[in-house]
Chain A
Amino acid sequence: MGTYSQYAWLVPLFPLLGFIIVLAAGRLVQRIGGPINVLLSIASFVVAALIGWERLTPGIENYVWNDWTWLKIGDFNITLGFEINNLNALMLLIVTLVSMLVQLYSIGYMAEDDRKHVFFSYIALFTFSMLGVVMSENLIELYIFWELVGVCSFLLVGFWYEKLEAKKAAQKAFLVTRVGDTGLLAGILLLAWNMPGHALDFNSIFNAINAGDLSSGVITTAAILIFIGAVGKSGQFPLHTWLPDAMEGPTPISALIHAATMVAAGVYLVARSFDLFVASPTAMLTVAIIGGFTAIFAATIGLAQYDIKRILAYSTVSQLGYMMMGLGVSTTFAAGMFHLYTHAFFKALLFLGAGSVIHAVHTQDIREMGGLSKHMKITTWTFAIGTLALSGVPPFAGFWSKDLILLEAYHHQPVLFVVALVAAFFTALYMSRLFFLVFTGKARKPAHPHESPAVMTIPLIILAILSVVAGFVNLPGSEKFSEWLTGVAPEEATSYVPMIASTIVALLGISIGAVFYWRPKFSAENVKKTFLPVFTVLNNKYYIDELYQKTIQVPYDLLAAFIDTFDKYVVQGAVSLIQYIVNFVGNITAKTQNGQLQNYALVLVFGLIILAAVVIWMGGGAEVWAISGK
């Protein structure tokens, strides 16, 4: 009997087709490139939705297809294929849905860009690669798509390459994630080395772990190395620095790649290889601590930024930290993945809303905005929903997923529970600061804002609806989503403590934001002056970039200067010497070539004489003498 999962290869095929068509046709499809890709995304989403619907059947088997032999090395085959299980069926849905909405939005946002067909072809390539990451059946295949995703991120961050910042940000994004990718590659190689039969598909790895074929040292090392890859991609501390800079790219890209999908790939990777992590308590603890620290660390930075996209970027870093912590503290990946799923919607919504605002006022500095609610009704309302969802106010989606993580932390790691609560408070605070500064009060700069066209507001409305309802699939007490995703019923009893605590901190954060920025009872400037040193540190992102500059870039530059000197004087010197000798000899011998034919003939005769002399001296020519002497 045929199943929809059999045709899952169609899902990434549509975006690939879009990429090839738009790339090949180039300027011919400058206008219709976007709509073509949106149509193909819809097709892709429909297939993904059918697969998702089919996966709802209770007791359905995972579908694995890996018959394509990619490389044959002796007896060892590397096969490519895909696997469909509940986890990646969910990811397929998220990626195709958000990608579709973002592409629709981009038609409006990028309308005046001259290179929009290039933009759409890159997005299609990205969607293809991301779906590849999600569907990969083994680690090598995943790594290939993982790198492709990185390339697309590079291309799209640097899309406006005339801007120096965009160019630098693209390089930074590529190089910093590369540090993580090296870790991932090392982890894959370590697993390949130690696995029986060098099998790298997920099922074999999980079986080997359950059968005890891998030593605990190998498991811990491999898990931590893979986690380093996830740290790079998901912008976790200490490799988070590229993500805020990546905001130089077009805003729809920030929404799709740097909020909803690509940066979530790290979280997905950890969830996908979760059995590996569960087998090593050390690795789990590392994941939880790095995640928790990143959550609060990035949230505090978000308090002191003025660029609307940067605030959202730090918020993304912080929320990704939340997801990592959710994976690290619990025994299943349900909490982290649930937050990934809700976050994808409300963070994409917030970024697209921010894009709509930037489109209207042509600035990214929140100090120059204000009073936009009068002009942009739809953007304001949808942005408000996104803000409430991100802050974790019930009954919006973010509340339920955040609550699940808090619940897990409350049961397993009380310290991290407190950290997460504080981070949630900061999240609510910076989001309300952002919202009230941008949408309420008086305009601080004369501008003529206008609501964005329907092609941009429709995705906002759809995402806003999803941000409200997406959480209802997994209400405390009837956690259908967790059960569907992981196959096991959640073991922790529902507790009201984290729920009430998180609601209180969220409302507290929003109220404090309101009294400072909405109905100013206190002046934010006074607070800023009182805590100026703290503010400066936060505004400068804890000087992490400067630290990296001092500790990595400066020694590296010194090393490069040294090697450059060596190259210039030693290597180049040797080359020059050889060149000089050849020139010298050449100059001398060139003098003998004077065009005098008879000179040449003379040299020829001398050569003949020498040759004859040598032959005779060697005893040759005896036959000639023999004849004449007969």
Chain B
Amino acid sequence: MTINMLTAFLTVSAILFSIGMFGALTKRNMIVLLLSIELMLNAVNLNLVAFSKYGMTPSLHGQMFTLFSIAIAAAEAAVGIAILLAFYRQRVTVNADEMNELREP
């Protein structure tokens, strides 16, 4: 039942991605925002693994790629939280609405 397996994985991945996107767009807390982004990233990773196992030409490439992706995601999270901490020290808030310094004055 390979067909259903791929569909099932993709469905889960799509649901994960949508939840992540919803969080990223609606939440105002920066930490939750970062978490949501991680969620979307993982949905993509899941996609990669699913296709690498059940796709037209199964191979290990997708899985290897996912490992790299996870490693980079970890680094990104570290940087993101570091920026967030720096921002918090400056403004004593983690509200995304108040991070609008870069707009046109």
- List residues of A whose CB falls within 8 A of some B CB: 590, 593-598, 601-602, 605, 627-630
Check if A596 sits within 8 Å of B100, measured CB to CB: yes
CB within 8 A of B101: which of A590, A595, A605?
A: A595
Q: Which residues in A have their C-beta under 8 angstroms from that of B55?
A: 627
Interface residues of B in 82-105 (CB under 8 A from A): 96-97, 99-104
Out of B10, B26, B56, B97, name the residue touching A596 (CB < 8 Å).
Answer: B97
Asked if B10 contacts A628 (CB within 8 A), the reply is yes
A590-B21 contact in complex given A597-B99, A628-B7, C-beta closer than 8 Å: no
B96 touching A598 by the CB < 8 A rule? Answer: yes
Contact between A598 and B100, CB atoms less than 8 A apart = no
Instruction: Show 23 A/B contacts (Cβ-Cβ < 8 Å), sorted by A.
Output: A593-B103, A594-B100, A594-B103, A595-B99, A595-B100, A595-B101, A596-B97, A596-B100, A596-B103, A597-B99, A598-B24, A598-B25, A598-B26, A598-B96, A601-B25, A602-B25, A605-B21, A605-B25, A627-B6, A627-B55, A627-B56, A629-B3, A630-B2
Total CB contacts across the A-B interface at under 8 A: 36
* Shortest CB distance A463–B (Å): 76
| A598-B100 Cα distance, complex, nearest whole Å | 10
Interface residues on B, range: 20 to 34
User: Taking CB as reference atom, which chain B residue is nearest A591?
Assistant: B104
Q: Which 7 A-B residue pairs are closest in the complex by CB-CB distance?
A: A595-B103, A595-B100, A594-B103, A595-B102, A602-B25, A593-B104, A598-B25
Q: Which residues of A contact B21 (CB under 8 A)?
A: 605
Give complex CA distance A629, B2 in Å: 10
Chain B residues whose C-beta falls within 8 Å of the C-beta of A598 in the assembled complex: 24-26, 33, 96
**Separation of A602 and B21 alpha carbons in the complex (Å):** 9
Q: A61 CA to B55 CA in the complex, in Å?
A: 97
Question: Nearest chain A CB to B5's CB is how many angstroms away?
Answer: 11
Which residues on B sit within 8 Å (CB–CB) of A628? 3, 6-7, 10
| Supplied contacts A594-B103, A598-B24, 20 more A-B pairs, CB within 8 Å | A590-B104, A593-B104, A595-B99, A595-B100, A595-B101, A595-B102, A595-B103, A596-B97, A596-B100, A597-B99, A598-B33, A598-B96, A601-B24, A602-B25, A605-B25, A627-B56, A628-B3, A628-B6, A630-B2, A630-B3
- A593 contacts across to B, CB distance below 8 A: 103-104
Shortest C-beta distance, B44 to chain A (Å), equals 13
Within 8 A of A (CB), among B1-43: 2-3, 6-7, 10, 21, 24-26, 33
In the complex, chain B residues whose CB is within 8 Å of the CB of A590: 104
Q: What CA separation (Å) do A594 and B2 show in the bound complex? A: 48
**Nearest-Cβ distance from residue A625 to partner chain B, whole angstroms:** 11
User: Please, how many angstroms separate the alpha-carbon atoms of A593 and B105 in the complex?
Assistant: 10
Q: A629 contacts which chain B residues (CB < 8 A)? A: 3
Q: Which residues of A sit under 8 angstroms from B102, Cβ to Cβ?
A: 595
B-side contacts of A630, CB under 8 Å: 2-3
- Residues of A within 8 Å of B33, CB to CB, are 598
Q: Which residues of B contact A595 (CB under 8 A)?
A: 99-103
Nearest residue, chain A, Cβ from B33? A598
- Complexed CA–CA distance, A627 and B10 (Å): 12
- Complex formed: what's the CA distance from A595 to B101 in Å? 6
